[in-house]
Amino acid sequence: MPHLVHTTTKPVSEQPAGDRDLLLAIQRGDEEAFAELLDRKTGPLLALTHRMVWDREEARDLVQVTFLRVWEHRHKFDERFSPNTWLYRIATNLAIDFLRAKRTRLSKLEPVRQHLYRVVKQPDTNLEEILERDILSVLQDLTSALTERQRLAFVLGQIEGLSTREVASILECRESTVRNHLFAARKVLQGELLRRFPEYAGRRRTGKQ
């Protein structure tokens, strides 16, 4: 198993290999190709997993495990498909497993969380204050209301910018199912926004009059 570290030994004049070429070389046991893929894909996979689990250190661990799986299952890559689709599928499956395990742990702490929320709950803020918050923090809060599939479809399609076909391939479902997940996710997010920030809902009603 090659070390999971970044390398920069490739000559500047050398034509960079495509992702598919790298994976095909990895299938042959090429550790230099694996190091190149690691260097190339760590950033995008870290961004993806972080938007799924909202924990930077956990996201890093998931990316590490993703590359371990890539090496261990390198012979399963089918060159007919997009390299990104294969990599994202591995990473998102790991993220789902993490979220399910985390949900089980948190469910046991829910009574305590609810009590603490009542104790420390702050007065409602206005819309300007909401807009000044870290957008990722707000998004994390809102997307926590989505199901695993809805969150995946939303993150991959709306944030990562993948096509419906690519998302369907990663989630191993029909494109119509992806569209349904996205529709449901937008509806839930809109409802959560209005529920958690009622002053925004008031402004919307006022604006319609």
Q: Chain-centre distance of CA 53, in angstroms?
A: 7
3-class DSSP assignment, residue 135 = helix
CATH 3.90.1150.10 fits 1-111, yes or no: no
Name the CATH architecture for the domain at 122-209.
Answer: Orthogonal Bundle (1.10)
Q: What angle do CA 161, 178, 24 make, to 5 degrees?
A: 60
Low-confidence residues in the chain, pLDDT < 50: 8-9, 11-13, 106, 108-109, 112-113, 115-123, 125-133, 206-209
Q: Which residues in the chain are classed under CATH 1.10.1740.10? A: 1-111
Which has the closest alpha carbon to 141: 64, 193, 63?
193
- Fill in the DSSP letter of residue 109: T
Q: Which residues in the chain are classed under CATH 1.10.10.10? A: 122-209
Q: What's the pLDDT score for residue 87?
A: 95
Q: For the chain, how many residues are written?
A: 209
- Residues 11-30: tens digit of each pLDDT: 444 567 799 999 999 999 99
